[in-house]
Amino acid sequence: MKKTLSAVALATLSVLPAAHAQGNSWGGVNPATATYVILSPQVNGNRSLVSAGDYQTVVKALANDSAGAIKRRYPGATIATDPNTAGAIQVTPILTAPSALLPWAKFSAALSLKLPSGRTVNVRQNFGVLEVYNHRADAANYIFDQLAKQLP
């Protein structure tokens, strides 16, 4: 009985992020065929970890790689560039940097999706610096693919 309860609890916990993201609030929007607009990424935390020039590269990567993750998750989705596109889901990639780049440090990444109804759906995950470093050039793809998996 104890093992069964633990297995059920583990299975329930493993689907909570996706269930939370889906909720009852997508209101007729099919995320698999929706139109998405990627808004300017937000970078919080210690922004001095990268130079001013590298910062612009990071911001561009956050926008491009979050769009790529949505297309990999939903091949039938459309990524638009005009933030005023009618009926589009507005996506803001968010990165919260740690205070220092130490192997054991953690940072968080999130996607904030504003649905056409005005409701906002957020998916967030914490990542270890070393975990992300292991993905090197594909680090942002890795991060946003993990977040996209939480979407319905």
Query: Which CATH number do you get for residue 71?
Result: 3.40.50
Task: Indicate the pLDDT class of residue 14, thresholds 50, 70 and 90.
Answer: very low
Q: pLDDT tens, 109-147?
A: 999 999 999 999 999 999 999 999 899 889 999 999 999
pLDDT digits (tens, 9 = 90+) for 45-61: 999 998 988 899 989 99
- How many domains does the chain contain in total? 1
68's tokens:
């790529």
By 3-state DSSP, what share of the chain in percent is helix, strand and coil, each rounded to 5? 40, 25, 35
Worst-scoring range by mean pLDDT, 12-26, 82-96, 112-126? 12-26
Rounded Cα distance, 92 and 41, in Å: 6
**Residues of the domain holding 130:** 2-148
